Amino acid sequence: MRLILAIIVSLSVFTASAQNSAFPNFTGDPFIKYSISAPGINASFIPYGARLTSLFVNDKNGNPQDVVVGYDNGTQYLNDTETVHTFFGAVVGRYANRIKNGTFTINGTTYHIPENEHNGEDTLHGGFIGYDQQNWTVVSQQTDSITFSFYDQAYQGFPGDVINYATYTLSNNNGIPRWTSRLVSIPLNLQTPIMLANHVYWNLGAFVNSAAQTVLNNTLYMPYADRYIQIDGIEVPTGGIALTANTPLDFTSPTLIGANIKNTVNNCGTGCTGYDNAFILDRPRYSNPEATDLTVLQLSSPETGIQLTLKTNQQSLQIYSCNNEDGTIPLKADQQHGNTTTGYQKFGCIVIETQQWIDGINYPQWGQDAYQIYGPTDEPAVNFQTYDFSIVQD
């Protein structure tokens, strides 16, 4: 009942404030798919959550494969929100990941936002009505790119107003298909926490056979992930920082995801086995937010030969190995391949969120304020990512 009331109140506030907005109200169908393409890659998006719903790249045999988890019909994402709430493919915000007790302090003022997780002990992905549940406006579309906008008028109790843009571009660079995501947030009046992230679920094996039903045989490499943020039993940071060396969280050399996963008990919360951890990227943050020259992650599937190479300006990667999937959500039609397994299984995918340090606004000793708290006199908050898709050579 508390959740239903919170949603009703939030929606009523949204409707009233949107009518007075300096930016155009959303019109049209929030679940209609918009497609863009470039040589060797194509993708589709919907305004609901500015979310990625499919992404096709060629496998080692030259066959196009859809490598992201989701639904066939756009309206299914609304049903997902109302039930299991996976955040499939969406932009999450105004502040991604978790905030302890839904509380933070800026310039001596303490703010309290809705705690929508663990019976009111923390806030996840922005509160009861996060960016994933907002209808973003398509402000530009070309053959190979699309830009969405969303005007946030102090929703969910966050201070101040923020205009957000999500620009997605496809390209081909010397035969390597690329998806570029650029999330830009501009605060208009008050200082506020901002940490947007894409919440895409990947399976580079595209479920082509029984071995590709999980990502356990995928190779993961994060060369700069020497440290991780320690969490408590409900996955909220404790303030501790630990080394990944000699733990199941060490992917500083290429390692199978399933190699040590049985040893991760309680690493991702009480009773949890799998990965749901924030890895710190120990390499310099670039002064130019789009000058991303270092590979921070590589992921590859032996079933398709597809390899993903990620570069970003962010200082952390949240890695989630789909520990809670149980086969009840059906695979998309283009991922069925005639297999007997027809639902997304436990460990059947992996989420890669590029972001800043989780709950850094509550740990000033981490020195994250400059990258998480923004005001009208600061540069915009920019989360910039490139995903290159190549074929692993045998």
The model's pLDDT over 108-157, given as tens digits with 9 standing for 90+, comes to 999 999 999 999 999 999 999 999 999 999 999 999 999 999 999 999 99
Type of residue numbered 382: V
Could you give the CA distance from residue 204 to residue 349 in angstroms, rounded to a whole number? Answer: 8
Catalytic pick among 199, 235, 303, 325: 199
Beta strand 297-300 with 219-221 is antiparallel
344 found inside a domain? yes
pTM of the shown model: 0.93
26 found inside a domain? no
16 found inside a domain? no
204 found inside a domain? yes
Segment 185-227, tens digit of pLDDT: 999 999 999 999 999 999 999 999 999 999 999 999 999 999 9
Residue 8 has pLDDT above 80, yes or no: no
Provide the CATH number for the domain around residue 86: 2.70.98.10
129 found inside a domain? yes
Residue 19 has pLDDT above 60, yes or no: no
Could you give the CA distance from residue 347 to residue 214 in angstroms, rounded to a whole number? Answer: 5
The number of domains in the chain is 1
Q: Which distant-in-sequence residues (6+ apart) come within 8 Å of 268 by Cβ?
A: 231, 235, 274, 275, 276, 277, 323
| Domain containing residue 83 | 34-391
Whether 353 is a known active-site residue: answer yes
17 found inside a domain? no
Whether 379 is a known active-site residue: answer no
293 found inside a domain? yes
Going by pLDDT thresholds of 50, 70 and 90, the confidence category of residue 338 is confident
Residue 293's pLDDT is: 77
21 found inside a domain? no
